[in-house]
Amino acid sequence: MATANIDIVGPSEYGLIRDLYNQIFAPSVEDVFFSRRLENRHNALMMVAELEKEPVGFSCGYELRPSTYYSWLSGVITSARRMGVATQLLLAEHAWAKEKGYEMARFECYNKHKAMVMLATRTGYDIAGTRYDSHMAGNLVIFEKNLQDSTPIEEL
């Protein structure tokens, strides 16, 4: 596993987050995609992961409710996958959220994204439910984790 440098970034880095997003997902988006979702959220968080000083991944989230941090969107570029970067981003989010007093972490992912489903189970998340996203015509799995749970993370 490579050790990523993970930094918290602010709105001035929407361009960097956008560029990473556009390398990972389609269709491409503009900065406003992030500002509309994050700017008026309580405790919005954006993190960027770097390997050898090159940005390779990101995560964005915010308070869903006073006890729950919601990891809204994250991704790792193809060339940096299977190196532990996504795990490190998720664990950095957990540490930040726990420090802010959140008791629970939550995220959703499409069932077809098997690597994220496996990451969730490896990092101690439970399936809290599912929902159908008619916009993307796919099933989302809802994951939740008690941040006070000290269950060890499975090796990658």
The pTM of this model reads 0.90
3-state secondary structure of 147: coil
At residue 1 the predicted structure's pLDDT band, cuts being 50, 70 and 90, is: confident
Query: pLDDT tens digit string along 65-79?
Result: 999 999 999 999 999
- The chain-wide mean pLDDT, for the chain, equals 93
pLDDT by residue (tens digit) across 86-125?
A: 999 999 999 999 999 999 999 999 988 899 999 999 999 9
Where are the chain's structural domains? 5-106
SS3 at position 77: coil
Q: Which CATH architecture has domain 5-106?
A: 3-Layer(aba) Sandwich (3.40)
- The pLDDT assigned to 125 comes to 95
The two structure tokens encoding residue 23: 């390398």
Give the residue from 149, 141, 42, 55 showing the smallest Cα distance to 94: 149
Query: What pLDDT is attached to residue 32?
Result: 94
